[in-house]
Structure 1
Amino acid sequence: MMKKRIAFLACFIMLLLVLLAARLVQIQLISTESFSAHHVNLIEASVKQRTQTVTLDDGRGKFYDVKGVPLAHEEVPTLVLFPFLKKMDWPADKVAGIIGRDEEALKNAVQMAKEPFAFGGKKPIILTDEQTAAINSLKIPGVFAVKEKFNQNSIPAAQLIGSTVMYGSLKVPRYPDQKLSAETRVGYRGLQRTFDEFLLSGGDSKLVYHVDANGGPMFGVDVKYVEPANPLYPVKVITTLDKGLQDKAEKLVDEHGIKKGGIVLIDIASSEIRAIVSRPSMEKRNPDAEGSVNLMFRQAAPGSVFKTVVAAAAIDYQAAKNKTFNCSLTIEGKKDKKHDYGPLNFENSFAQSCNRAFAELGQEISAKNQDFLKQYAEKLNVIGGSGWKGNVYHTPIEQLDQEDKGKIWQDEKLKKDPRMVAKSSIGQQDVQATPLAIANMMATIARGGEKEMVKAVKKVEFNNGTSIVSFPDMKISGKPISPYTALKLQQLLRGVVTSPKGTGAPLADLPYEVAGKSGTAQTDIKRKRLNKWFAGYFPYKNPKYALVAVSLDTDEKSETMTPLFGDIVKEVYKEDQKQVNDGTKE
């Protein structure tokens, strides 16, 4: 019996040794770069134990505005200190004298540090070229003046730029043919996702200092500056945004109390987004929160802004010629308790946004062509995507992540019902459009009917400035409105502002002449929730910008969108005048 127990114990021990040896083989030879379900890189972990490092740049591509100004990061020449300084006698007084700070503050910061850090915390000190040279000339181990890239806490156009997540958090590996560590950041939403293959890190740039078992410096081994093997990376994504206008637009949207909604500003000539704001704001730590959705790309009920589409059809069908409309009645023919406009012609009906007039026009045109609403919405590109899409190196790409297409009918059978046609003709019932599409409609009208895809990115460059890919102007397919129809719509939109009783009359005295259309859509009758819009373009005689301001799911007490629209026009005018005075704009 004793022999059996000994034999069993020996076999058990042998099995344990075999399992231990197998585990060591897995750790040492097989799974060195992807260990466990968390895909831990054991080689990197081993190196971390023997070094102290400070990452100057994570290697992922960066975003810039149309003038080359960084959007989501800043490159700062700053002072980096290593924690092993606490065990050394180092000339802190000399360093403090160069940067103009207290010596004790430097020493205390080092004493508190557990890893290399930029002195100054969340607001690191910014060094001059002279200070940088002076500090580095001291050649103190663990003291370096370097340029470090910091991600900003507040990112302009956050939903457009988008978010990233750790590669290991993705349920389905996106890059099965590439060896990416679990900690590599990949695009999750927005432009970060659209351009992820360009933006992927080619390796970070960092300062590496070898330390002994006690965390002290291994003298005789200099600090190493490690950078990506390919000097062309990280890439630069040059967006169409103007950071100055973007910052002002963000501030104005918040000042006007927009809780849900935002603005879209488009350069008409280039069909490029110059500023875009979506509220609620994005939560940096929660990429799936409500604020992560770009509401400027999501469909919403447009209300009376959609009357512009019906007006285009009425011009072509001559449906409004020599007619007046009883604008004291609702679309059902009952007395309107809110609006008693009396008889109005077509131009004044548009300026004052008479529902009765456009309900009648919609029903009359529908009797001749039941598909007219959809056809004219397509001509003005209210439905169908507005964002740039095409092939890049034979691969299809859509610049704008998760852009809705808009719609007219939930059920095509409804177009045969005159009551439904009346509701749809004033932008209610099933009609849906994105703020981007409405802005693009205004740009289309301002251009005389030419439909252009809207760009958010101009080009992608290598780190040395060489272009990888640029995005040319692209027409939107499909039949457009005629130049004549566009001209008549321009006049109608201008009348909204110049007419004393027009819904855009408060915008009459702006430094740029404005043409546009207001809109209010009921979204929840029981809760009395509304979408409030103002969409238009400016200057009227020489169009440069199309702009939409919208407040979604709001109430009657909230302000209309004309004040926000007007304030943004003023800021654009100031910026244009500044550039003219600087000689950078004609």
Structure 2
Amino acid sequence: MWKKRTIQLGAVVILGIFLLLFRLMQLQLWQAEDFTSRHINLVEDSVRQRSQEVVIDDGRGSILDRNENLITHKKVPVLILFPFLQKINWPHEKVAAILGIDEGELLEAIKRIKEPIMYGGSQPFVLSQWQIEAINSLKVPGVFAVERKIALEKAPARQLVGVLGENEKLAKERYPDKEMLSKTIIGVSGLQKSFDAFLVGEGKTKLVYHVDAIGNPLFGASVKYTNLENSLYPATLKMTLDLKIQQKAEELADAHGIKKGGIVLLDVGTNSLLAMVSRPDPNEKNPFSGSGLSNLMLKEQIVGSVFKTVIAAAAIENGLADSPRLFDCSRKINGQRDLQYNYGLLNFEESFARSCNNAFAEMAKDLQKIDPGLIEEYATRLSLTGRAGWEGNVYHMAGFRQLPEEEPGRVFLTDSERKDPNFAALTGIGQKEVRVTPLAVANMMATIARGGAKEQVRAVSEIEYKNSSTMFSFQQEPLPGRTIAPETAQELQKLLRRVITDSNGTGRWFAGLPYEVAGKSGTAETGRFLEDRQLHNKWFAGYFPFDKPRYALVAVNLDVFEDEGGVNPLFSDMVKFLYSYDQRAE
């Protein structure tokens, strides 16, 4: 009996040993880098438990403005101190003298630390070049003067540039043929996402030392510098943004109380993005909470009377603007008396300058009679439908889009709406189903300013290899499809300028600016209400200087009451700043 039990017990023990060995093989050979449903990398975690490290550079490519200023981070010369300095003799008095501080202060900084620190903490002590050289010449183990890459607490153009995150599963899905570390940082929105394949790092630059279970050095006071040398990757993005202009635009948007809305500024000559501001801002601690990460300048919005520019273009090219016809601008589009805007009888040019709703509702119906698709056609000719952002082939990536989050815009939803006179009337004043992005509106103004040349908008001009040589250059490209005739563009230029110069023009507010402005205002009903009051979208879109256009600018404030949230002061201050900025540059 006892022999049988002994045999059974032995079998259980052998089976247990076999299962244990199988489990160890599973952990070490098959699932060492992908353990459990949480995809834990046991190899990395075991190394992490046996070491302490300071990341000097996260390994991701840099993003620069057009003047090669860093956009997302800064590089700061700092002092790194390791915990084992508590247990060795080192020339702290010499280091303190180089720093110009009391040696007791330096010793106090490392008195109770258990991990490497950057001296000064969140406000690091910034070293000069001679201090870096002097400290490193001492060759003190555990004391390093290095240039560290530090993310900006509040980076500019946050929604446009995008945010980063650590997502091992997404990284492996995005790069199935590439060996990705579990803590690899990838782009999850904006340019960081669309250009992620060029920016993604191949490894972090670190200072590492190995420790035992209680934190003591395993191999003496020996710190290892780790860096994956690659002269080509990660790449660097050179944006078309101007950092100083971008920072001023953000400052002005906040100063003028833009809670939901923003600014788009284009360089007319190159059709490049100089500044883009979207509010609300992302939550700094959790950017994915709320709506702050959404770039409203790339989202469809109700545009209001700015759309009358499209109707004007179509009217000019289809013979509706040449006649001596007068429009009754003392009435609303439903025929009722307009007690607020009682302008009387106005011709075509006067109607545009004063933004007469009835005139453009009537012209929209006339255009519909000629061809139900005519209004949409001219919206497309002026780049309000479709997408304005740069799109093309980049190496093996066909149809690469710099701004993949950009929405296409629309005029009608159904064919029955196109043929309905009431829909046409409301469409003529930018209401009903008309939706366009602020970027598209800015591009329309730039198109008119250039005499009808319709181009794609660039946010990035170049991708550079790590050694600063050019990998890919984004050239100016035309937007596909027909555009307006040069003669039509000239007529629109006159109309947009008259909005400013007419004594009753909706843009007369800008008459005294240092740059002569041409543009169009818009106040759109949203159909949304707060406290039983309807909310509106306030716009002003234009270009300047009028005689030699350099800038196309859109300022928009969304979901505000009709008598509040004007964008005129914001637009005006941007024009004044750009004038002074250009004067300093000259």
Give 1:583's aligned residue.
none
Deviation at 1:2, TM superposition (A): 5.2
**The residue matched to 1:263 in structure 2 has which SS?**
strand
Give 1:101's aligned residue.
101
- Equivalent positions of 1:246-285 (< 5 A) are 246-284=246-284, 285=286
**The residue matched to 1:449 in structure 2 has which SS?**
coil
1:116 maps to 2:116: yes
Give 1:564's aligned residue.
570
1:290 maps to 2:291: yes
**The residue matched to 2:149 in structure 1 has which SS?**
strand
Tell me the distance in 2 between the aligned counterparts of 1:263 and 1:548.
Answer: 6
Give 1:328's aligned residue.
330
Give 1:344's aligned residue.
346
For 1:467-501, what per-residue CA distance to the aligned partner results, in whole angstroms no more than 9, with x for missing partners? 11111111111111000000000011111111121
Tell me the distance in 2 between the aligned counterparts of 1:554 and 1:109.
Answer: 51
Deviation at 1:297, TM superposition (A): 0.4
Give 1:142's aligned residue.
142
For 1:153-185, what per-residue CA distance to the aligned partner results, in whole angstroms no more than 9, with x for missing partners? 111111111122223253982222222123211
Does the 8 Å CA contact 1:66/1:241 hold for their aligned counterparts? yes
Does the 8 Å CA contact 1:538/1:544 hold for their aligned counterparts? yes
Tell me the distance in 2 between the aligned counterparts of 1:213 and 1:227.
Answer: 26
The letter for the 1-side match of 2:246 is Q
Give 1:192's aligned residue.
192
State which of 392, 405, 409 in structure 1 corresponds to 2:408.
Answer: 405
The letter for the 2-side match of 1:325 is F
Deviation at 1:214, TM superposition (A): 4.1
State which of 477, 480, 484 in structure 1 corresponds to 2:487.
Answer: 484
Does the 8 Å CA contact 2:518/2:543 hold for their aligned counterparts? yes
Deviation at 1:394, TM superposition (A): 3.2
Give 2:507's aligned residue.
504
**The residue matched to 2:425 in structure 1 has which SS?**
helix
Deviation at 1:262, TM superposition (A): 0.5
Tell me the distance in 1 between the aligned counterparts of 2:5 and 2:584.
Answer: 93
Deviation at 1:308, TM superposition (A): 0.2
The letter for the 1-side match of 2:41 is N
Are the structure 2 counterparts of residues 143 and 350 from structure 1 closer, same or farther at C-alpha, using a change threshold of 3 Å?
same
Deviation at 1:516, TM superposition (A): 0.5
The farther-off stretch of 20-29 and 385-394 is 20-29
State which of 374, 377, 380 in structure 1 corresponds to 2:379.
Answer: 377
Give 1:552's aligned residue.
558
Are the structure 2 counterparts of residues 457 and 374 from structure 1 closer, same or farther at C-alpha, using a change threshold of 3 Å?
same
**The residue matched to 1:492 in structure 2 has which SS?**
helix
Are the structure 2 counterparts of residues 342 and 82 from structure 1 closer, same or farther at C-alpha, using a change threshold of 3 Å?
same
The farther-off stretch of 211-220 and 54-63 is 211-220
1:363 maps to 2:365: yes
The letter for the 1-side match of 2:514 is P
- Equivalent positions of 1:235-250 (< 5 A) are 235-250=235-250
**The residue matched to 1:444 in structure 2 has which SS?**
helix
1:444 maps to 2:447: yes
TM-score (norm 1): 0.95
- Equivalent positions of 1:452-531 (< 5 A) are 452-524=455-527, 526-527=529-530, 528-531=534-537
Tell me the distance in 2 between the aligned counterparts of 1:331 and 1:102.
Answer: 78
**The residue matched to 2:173 in structure 1 has which SS?**
coil
Tell me the distance in 1 between the aligned counterparts of 2:97 and 2:309.
Answer: 67
The farther-off stretch of 12-21 and 240-249 is 12-21
Give 2:303's aligned residue.
302
The letter for the 1-side match of 2:57 is D
Deviation at 1:149, TM superposition (A): 0.3
Q: Which runs of 5+ in 2 are unaligned?
A: none
Does the 8 Å CA contact 1:34/1:42 hold for their aligned counterparts? yes
Tell me the distance in 1 between the aligned counterparts of 2:353 and 2:443.
Answer: 21
State which of 574, 580, 585 in structure 1 corresponds to 2:580.
Answer: 574
Deviation at 1:200, TM superposition (A): 1.3
Does the 8 Å CA contact 2:427/2:434 hold for their aligned counterparts? yes
Are the structure 2 counterparts of residues 115 and 234 from structure 1 closer, same or farther at C-alpha, using a change threshold of 3 Å?
farther
Does the 8 Å CA contact 2:84/2:221 hold for their aligned counterparts? no
Does the 8 Å CA contact 1:453/1:473 hold for their aligned counterparts? yes
Does the 8 Å CA contact 1:38/1:168 hold for their aligned counterparts? no
Deviation at 1:45, TM superposition (A): 2.5
For 1:512-554, what per-residue CA distance to the aligned partner results, in whole angstroms no more than 9, with x for missing partners? 1111100011112544011110000111100011010001112
Give 1:183's aligned residue.
183
**The residue matched to 2:174 in structure 1 has which SS?**
coil
Tell me the distance in 1 between the aligned counterparts of 2:189 and 2:544.
Answer: 32
Tell me the distance in 1 between the aligned counterparts of 2:112 and 2:584.
Answer: 47
Tell me the distance in 2 between the aligned counterparts of 1:221 and 1:117.
Answer: 16
Tell me the distance in 2 between the aligned counterparts of 1:334 and 1:447.
Answer: 40
For 1:192-245, what per-residue CA distance to the aligned partner results, in whole angstroms no more than 9, with x for missing partners? 111111111111111223345543345666433211131323321111110000
Does the 8 Å CA contact 2:171/2:180 hold for their aligned counterparts? no
Tell me the distance in 2 between the aligned counterparts of 1:221 and 1:94.
Answer: 19
The letter for the 2-side match of 1:85 is L
Does the 8 Å CA contact 1:55/1:206 hold for their aligned counterparts? yes
Are the structure 2 counterparts of residues 3 and 521 from structure 1 closer, same or farther at C-alpha, using a change threshold of 3 Å?
farther
Are the structure 2 counterparts of residues 134 and 475 from structure 1 closer, same or farther at C-alpha, using a change threshold of 3 Å?
same
**The residue matched to 1:90 in structure 2 has which SS?**
coil
Deviation at 1:314, TM superposition (A): 1.2
Tell me the distance in 2 between the aligned counterparts of 1:525 and 1:159.
Answer: 25
Deviation at 1:249, TM superposition (A): 0.5
Deviation at 1:250, TM superposition (A): 0.6
Identity over aligned pairs, percent: 48
Tell me the distance in 2 between the aligned counterparts of 1:328 and 1:458.
Answer: 49
Does the 8 Å CA contact 1:189/1:401 hold for their aligned counterparts? no
**The residue matched to 1:535 in structure 2 has which SS?**
strand
Tell me the distance in 1 between the aligned counterparts of 2:342 and 2:107.
Answer: 76
Deviation at 1:342, TM superposition (A): 1.7
Tell me the distance in 2 between the aligned counterparts of 1:575 and 1:5.
Answer: 93
The letter for the 2-side match of 1:97 is A
Tell me the distance in 2 between the aligned counterparts of 1:40 and 1:422.
Answer: 61
Tell me the distance in 2 between the aligned counterparts of 1:45 and 1:106.
Answer: 32
Tell me the distance in 1 between the aligned counterparts of 2:214 and 2:236.
Answer: 41
Does the 8 Å CA contact 1:263/1:547 hold for their aligned counterparts? yes
Give 2:44's aligned residue.
44
TM-score (norm 2): 0.95
State which of 538, 541, 546 in structure 1 corresponds to 2:547.
Answer: 541
Deviation at 1:19, TM superposition (A): 1.7
